[in-house]
A and B are shown apart, each in its own frame.
Chain A
């Protein structure tokens, strides 16, 4: 469904992605791992056409999106739902207006219908009581969940894209978000989560890409990831098995 064909990208001559190639099928549950600044967010932005590759092609359902205009890209963007790092809620609008944003933009629903739809979406992410709050009053985890509800408002996407959906959250909230992501995928949507937290990646995905130096250095399942001998992947994975050095008698 998503094909990256030798994609190269850089900001002002600073290379980020280098001849990156991979392929994702519909319905896949995939996690892209990699250190900060390796270009994980950049990949998601390329998929929805917010930025264009310097060279190479990106195919979405067989269509080359590399040279599409902003208007043509709107059709591509409808196939995805992207939840940005930290949520990206419009901070001048209430939770309700955030979730209702696309409903107001694209449908002719009455006020009552909008209210009902917004409540339904917020129930899905377990946040109905927060409907009248402003984004600034929400915790990090609530922020992400409202963002997820908002991104589901108008259309059913084929694939959800999550940018660091659990970054900066405590383990309980991270776990909540992971459960929500898994729950949503039971509706038949695939998802791609970009993260540097292996624990959370293992919870939501069954295929893993490891990004380093602008290319994919690992592509495989959980067992292979855990058994990988690549030094950086080891560092990521060893976090899971960390044993505190206990001083004194045991």
Chain B
């Protein structure tokens, strides 16, 4: 990879995500587009997010129950599952699902607008494409991914409970009380910061990749793939970095 194009595209990406964010505070704000994006990103992703979360929760519970039973620690299932889901698995799984469903959609929609000269039309009409296209998607992601993550966490915990209570024959009361014990400030805060970061990354990477689309349907394929691949990489890396920072900030010894 050549260095100069790389630097200039990093600069473009930075400008896009920065101006896209500033667009929230500057007029005009496109309410209609924002609501439409929220509907697409949030309401549209509800079902798949619920489905994925349910099965992730059940699988996690099944795995851990087997392992904990060997150690004679089956009563800790709620605690272990709760921490895993709230702090780590829930936000990451939600972000990955969101990337596949919403990020890919953003990149391909903006990409086909690039190919069809629709973005040029916006500029000719004096409309800032960043404000019109990026800001609504950024806002939708910043609102909807955290909401979906919380919902996904809850459904995962229910899935895990189902397995714990009906397959591993644990007491429901013990399960829910240990889960409630896990819901302290530190855990909830760790879990709540991540989806904002991930939402911001997914929306700005996907929009950026959409804007880089050149030349027909193979160009669209490349930019959509890049959007998904880059988003996944950035989610996984930033999850690690954030976890590290949060553990430090919250005063854990590692």
Instruction: Give residues in A with beta carbon < 8 Å to B.
Output: 45, 48, 50, 70, 74, 77-78, 80, 82, 84-86, 88-91, 101-102, 105-106
CA distance A101 to B128 in the complex (A): 14
Cβ–Cβ < 8 Å partners of A89 in chain B: 118
CA distance A106 to B112 in the complex (A): 26
Cβ–Cβ < 8 Å partners of A90 in chain B: 113, 118, 121
Which residues of chain B from 118 to 145 have any CB-CB distance to chain A below 8 Å in the complex? 118, 120-121, 123-128
Given A70-B123, A88-B120, A101-B125; 14 other pairs, CB 8 A cutoff: A45-B120, A50-B120, A70-B128, A74-B126, A84-B120, A85-B117, A86-B116, A88-B116, A88-B117, A90-B118, A91-B112, A105-B126, A105-B127, A106-B126
Minimal beta-carbon separation of B117 from chain A (angstroms): 4
Q: Which of B116, B123, B124, B128 contacts A91 (CB 8 A)?
A: B116
Cβ–Cβ < 8 Å partners of A48 in chain B: 124
Cβ–Cβ < 8 Å partners of B120 in chain A: 45, 50, 84, 88
Identify the closest chain B residue to A98 (Cβ): B121
Cβ–Cβ < 8 Å partners of B128 in chain A: 70
In the assembled complex, 6 residue pairs joining A and B whose CB atoms fall closer than 8 Å, in A order, are: A50-B120, A50-B123, A84-B117, A88-B120, A90-B121, A91-B118
Which residues of chain B from 26 to 84 have any CB-CB distance to chain A below 8 Å in the complex? none
CA distance A88 to B125 in the complex (A): 12
Minimal beta-carbon separation of B38 from chain A (angstroms): 15
Which of B112, B113, B118, B121 has its CB near the most chain A CB atoms (within 10 A)? B121
CA distance A80 to B123 in the complex (A): 13
- CB pair A105 B125 closer than 8 Å: yes
- CB pair A88 B118 closer than 8 Å: yes
- CB pair A82 B127 closer than 8 Å: no
Q: Which of A70, A74, A84 contacts B121 (CB 8 A)?
A: A84
CA distance A82 to B121 in the complex (A): 8
Identify the closest chain A residue to B30 (Cβ): A105
Cβ–Cβ < 8 Å partners of B126 in chain A: 74, 77-78, 105-106
